[in-house]
Amino acid sequence: MKQKLLLSFVVALLLLSGVSPLRAFDLKHSRDSLEALLQKVPEDNGRRRLELLNHLCDIDLSLGDTTYIYPCWQAAVRMHDVNSMDDLLIPLAMRAMRRGQADSVKVWQERCRQCFDGPLSDCNLEYLQMMQDLQDWENHDKLSQRIIKEQIRLDAGQKPYQAMRILYTLGILSSFEKSGNAKTMLKPCVEYMDEALAISRRQPFREAAHFTRQILLGLSSESLEYARQYLLFVKRFLEEPDMRERPFYSRRALIMAYERLIQKGKDLSRQELDGYYGEVCSLMEKYPNDTPVPFDFYRARVQYYYHDAIGAQEEALAWCDSLIAIAPRCHVAPYVYYGNKMRLLAALHRWEDAYHFSNFYMQAKDSVQNANSEKKLSELQTQYDVDTLRRKEEARRNQLILASICGVFLLMALAVYIVYSRRLSAKNSVLLEQLKQYALQLKAEQEKQSARPDKKPEISDSSPDTSDSPEASENNGAVSASSLKLFARIDNLMRQEKLYLRSDLSRADLLERFGMNKNNLATVVMAGSGMNLSDYINEFRLRDALFIMEEFPDVALTQIADQTGFGTYSSFYRVFNKRFGVTPKEYKKYIS
């Protein structure tokens, strides 16, 4: 429970990583187009390059990639674009923290001092310090003592951003201690947050945006008015001039703002509630990558709160069941929703289920039954006994019908299974025999090759002459002899050094080893093998896997996957099945 309450305040830090508003398929195509444009922009056109890098950075962050975030930062520093640097500084620091890089916050605090001055520097420095404090939460006792000492010396007029950091952290400490029923001298969390919010509103809007967003997100769960204020803040931020020029910028904060309002739907008019519900559903459909993950859990929460607020109890119960089922996968204790389900079941006169969930709820919370809960259990027990008698009578009437239906379905399923198994067995037998012959052929080729000495290839570290590059050949409509010669050298090197056995082999590694750019490498491999780079590497791994399975049948498939460079069995399974039409397990069983 402590972790849950703490998470409700600090989860907003994750928003700063950003995701894009378009579908992943569209994003990849947009990224390809933007990359092509970026390559055509001269280096001296810094403003245009920064604009394109901002778009690429927004897209990459939504796809879980970080390729362009640091190049975008470098371009922003060169152009001294304060807004872009302000957007990127904290996500870059968070990325370093997640990677466990030593002194990551201190490094970015120093870069902040170099790139910013005045209040904007103060804001980012204090926000970075707050991130570090919240990351080291296990030592919250020491943190509490330090923050309280800082508050004593606090001068909010002279150092407003230091004041906001201290007050926000005190609010979290207060909430944490209250959740643990510990004695505390701290004021209620809302009082600290309110004071911090008042300070943030006296600062320029864009300058204080990081803190204002964080504070309002924490307060939005407290009351309807704060939730409305959070929505207004997000809308205003997205209307900032530089934000209107970034179509790929995250709408996650906007989705969360509407969801917070729907949680308080019983305090809203039906018209206002329907408006917020329509907005959040439209946003989740329009910007699926911006929906807080996991998507199914978040969608179920929105649907549950809405249907519960409008009194649609059956629909609310169905969504509550979804939340209970999904919660363990999201590291949320399902008993959080048991009380909600018990209330809905009782309202629907489903006394048996209400009684059971009442027990689950109290056991999970490890609470002592009081007079009110005993009275409620007694009433539910009575209704449960009456309902049990009625259900027994209905069960007897339905048993025969149910048994007959099940028997028919079982017979039908058995017949379908037999027919399917025979067809599949016949098909697999042909595929497996073909694969065995292919493996024997590979083995013979390998023995023949090992019988004669190989000449070690010599690959220059420098890039190939662009005048005879594959790109130039493609312009002539044909594959040049140079491309095939390059492929022969690459292929020889792959066989000699067995680079494909590295599970962490990346395109960047190959580009560095062969001294080529990514377009040349892909073109050469396609020209020489007829395969893309990934399939080409996997073909070597599959050949080694077939050889091991033939020569060493006792080696486990997981070991084979590891030894041949696949890294994981799931990757080995997928590539093997796609290439040969049968699974590794089926083939191993066949040859044994």
Burial class (CB in 10 A: 0-12, 13-18, 19+), 263: buried
Q: What is the 3-state secondary structure (H, E, C) of 401-444?
A: HHHHHHHHHHHHHHHHHHHHHHHHHHHHHHHHHHHHHHHHHHHH
Q: Using CA atoms, how far apart are residues 433 and 421, in angstroms rounded to an integer?
A: 18
Using CA atoms, how far apart are residues 41 and 245, in angstroms rounded to an integer? 19
**In terms of Cα–Cα distance, which of 308, 208, 222 is closest to 265?**
308
pLDDT at 420: 56
Q: Is the peptide bond before 294 cis (omega within 30 degrees of 0)?
A: yes
Distance of alpha carbon 244 from alpha carbon 51, whole angstroms: 12
Structure tokens at 386: 């009456």
CATH superfamily of 498-591: Homeodomain-like (1.10.10.60)
The helix/strand count (H/E) of the chain reads as: 28, 0
Q: Which amino acid is at 99?
A: R
For residue 173, give the nearest of 145, 204, 144, 153 by alpha carbon: 144
Number of C-beta neighbours around residue 361 at 10 A = 20
pLDDT of residue 428: 67
- Of the chain, the percentage scoring pLDDT greater than 70 comes to 81
Close Cβ partners of 123 (under 8 Å, ≥ 6 residues apart)? 161, 203, 207, 208, 210, 211
The residue type at 542:
L
Report whether 189 contacts 171 (CB < 8 A): yes
Instruction: Enter the pTM of the model.
Output: 0.56
14, 64 Cβ separation under 8 angstroms = no
With a CB cutoff of 8 Å and minimum separation 6, the contacts of 212 are: 197, 200, 201, 205, 233
Round to whole Å and give the CA distance between 186 and 105.
Answer: 28
Longest dimension (CA), the chain: 90
- How far is Cα of residue 141 from the mean position of the Cα atoms in its chain? 32
How high is the mean pLDDT in each 10-residue block of the chain (592 residues)? 43 38 60 90 92 89 82 93 90 84 81 89 90 76 82 84 91 80 78 93 92 92 91 93 84 87 92 93 82 78 93 93 86 78 88 80 58 52 68 79 78 70 62 74 69 48 38 47 83 85 82 79 85 88 87 87 87 89 87 78
**Which residues 6+ apart lie within 8 Å of 480 measured at CB?**
468, 470, 472, 473
CA 375/CA 102 separation, integer angstroms: 57
Say which amino acid occupies 108: W
Percent over 90 (pLDDT), the chain: 21
Burial 394-416 (b: 16+ CB within 10 A, else e): eeeeeeeeeeeeeeeeeeeeeee
* Cβ atoms of 290 and 258 closer than 8 Å: no
Rounded to 10 degrees, the C-alpha dihedral 53/54/60/61 comes to 150
Which residue reads 């230091």 in tokens?
162
Q: Return the sign of the alpha-carbon dihedral for residues 238, 242, 248, 249.
A: negative
What's the pLDDT tens digit per position in 340-368? 888 898 888 888 888 887 777 777 665 43
Is residue 385 classed as helix, strand or coil in its secondary structure? helix
CA 567 to chain centre: 22
The model's pLDDT over 231-267, given as tens digits with 9 standing for 90+, comes to: 999 999 999 988 888 888 878 888 889 989 999 999 9
pLDDT for residue 427: 60
Q: What share of the chain is helix, strand, coil (3-state, %, to 5)?
A: 80, 0, 20
pLDDT at 469: 42
Q: What is the pLDDT of residue 529?
A: 84
The pLDDT of residue 9 is 39
Q: What is the secondary structure of 264-325 as a DSSP string?
A: TGGGS-HHHHHHHHHHHHHHHHH-GGGSPSSHHHHHHHHHHHHHHHTT-HHHHHHHHHHHHH
Q: What is the pLDDT of residue 457?
A: 43
